[in-house]
């Protein structure tokens, strides 16, 4: 189902006065599926039929770890909510009925000092859905109209619910609190849910600002997590525990590579037979067909093409593409080479030099 809400005549849609809800009655107890009164929207509010509501770890803290909610139970939990506007209160445009929306987890007043300064997330009068007021583990929920945001048709409505908290938290941290700019090094601490969401935001920024260096600091040391971080655009990955001196050394190395000499690459284009790699656009094409490459796949391909005629060891590629110099985890290079060969097919120029590393082989003649 796309973000577009179903088409119907709301004037003919009769809503029941009750609804089903999963009610929280206290810690260490299961949620109770029961029938409760359906809420009505007040002035400035909308009634939303819930399409989906994410289960956040905060909900688990309430249910399993005794963290108190602001409202004394019984309470309907859930604050990652997407759905369709069914009714509106006074002062809200009737045209919003039928709109697919995403609800902000914390409501805001729009008038306090924090709201006026773009810090609605810490509104002096803010109330959290599923904490101060009933949330989305129910068929319907009421929320301020100003905190209901239209979901684009291109985003599935059910899946969009997780954007409300997990992704917007990371987006807010990267763009509005850290205000990341080119030339700065970004350290993502932790590669859990929020950390990976932060990397997704950084990955989008990386498309516009490929010179933005990113370092991950995480307790997770498995290869798959590292590869995922690199694919999302990270330049380096340090697993805990680590030496602070080592972290500083790596950041300095990344900054050296991001300095002036690399700017020349921004407008460069390398042609190798049918393969054309454009650094400025960060595009790779085989003939007229664009090949979608992850950030590190693109960087690895460029590094090899930029050193045609030379054999580069795995350690050299780790240093130049990923930014770490210690011996180990060279499988990272092998995995990315395998992915490049799969995506580029016969146009792949990468040749394995057994026991050493990789080089670029002779170009095929372009197809006429």
- Do the Cβ atoms of 343 and 291 come closer than 8 Å? yes
pLDDT tens digits for range 4-45: 555 555 545 678 999 999 999 999 999 999 999 999 999 999
Q: Helices 223-231 & 331-344, crossing angle to 10 degrees?
A: 50
- Predicted confidence (pLDDT) per residue in 195-245, tens digit: 666 666 666 666 666 666 777 787 778 888 788 777 777 778 888 887 878
Residue among 57, 326, 66, 296 nearest 190 (CA): 57
pLDDT at 267 over 70: no
> CA-to-CA distance for 185 and 188, rounded, in angstroms?
10
Domains and CATH numbers, the chain: 10-160 (3.90.180.10), 170-258 (3.40.50.2300), 267-360 (1.10.10.10)
The rounded mean pLDDT for the chain is 82
Quote the CA–CA distance of 11 and 3 in Å, as a whole number.
22
Amino acid 31: pLDDT: 95
CA angle 199–204–207, rounded 5-degree value = 125
pLDDT of residue 193: 65
Q: Tell me how crowded residue 15 is: count the other CB atoms within 10 A of its CB.
A: 15
Choice between 252 and 352, residue whose per-residue pLDDT is larger: 352
């Amino acid at each position: 189902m796309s973000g577009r809400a179903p088409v119907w005549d709301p004037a003919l849609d009769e809503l029941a006065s009750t609804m089903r809800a999963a009610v929280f009655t206290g810690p260490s107890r299961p949620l109770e599926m029961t029938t409760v009164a359906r809420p009505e929207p007040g002035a400035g509010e909308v009634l939303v039929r819930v399409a989906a509501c994410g289960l956040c770890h905060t909900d688990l803290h309430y249910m399993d770890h005794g963290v108190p909610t602001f409202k004394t139970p019984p309470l309907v939990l859930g604050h990652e909510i997407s759905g369709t506007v069914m009714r509106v209160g006074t002062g809200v445009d009737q045209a919003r009925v039928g709109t697919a929306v995403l609800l902000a987890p914390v409501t805001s007043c729009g008038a306090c000092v924090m709201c006026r300064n773009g810090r609605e997330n810490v509104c002096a009068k803010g109330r959290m859905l599923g904490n101060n007021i009933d949330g989305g583990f129910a068929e319907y929920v009421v929320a301020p109209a100003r905190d209901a945001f239209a979901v684009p048709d291109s985003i599935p409505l059910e899946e969009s619910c997780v954007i409300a908290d997990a992704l917007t938290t990371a987006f807010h941290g990267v763009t509005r609190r850290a205000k990341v700019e080119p030339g700065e090094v970004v350290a993502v601490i932790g590669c859990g849910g929020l950390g990976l969401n932060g990397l997704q935001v950084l990955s989008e920024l990386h498309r516009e600002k490929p010179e933005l260096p990113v370092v991950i600091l995480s307790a997770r040391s498995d290869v798959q997590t590292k590869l995922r971080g690199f694919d999302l655009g990270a330049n380096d990955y340090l697993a805990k525990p680590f030496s602070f001196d080592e972290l500083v050394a790596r950041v300095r190395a990344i900054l050296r590579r991001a300095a002036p000499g690399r700017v020349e690459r921004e407008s460069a284009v390398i042609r190798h037979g049918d393969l054309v790699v454009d650094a400025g656009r960060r595009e790779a094409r085989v003939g007229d067909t664009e090949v979608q490459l992850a950030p590190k796949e693109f960087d690895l391909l460029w590094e090899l093409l930029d050193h045609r005629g030379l054999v580069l060891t795995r350690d050299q590629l780790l240093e130049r593409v990923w930014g770490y110099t210690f011996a180990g985890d060279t499988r990272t290079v092998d995995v990315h080479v395998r992915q490049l060969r799969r995506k580029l097919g016969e146009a792949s120029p990468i040749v394995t030099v057994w026991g050493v590393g990789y080089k670029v082989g002779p170009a095929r003649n372009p197809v006429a």
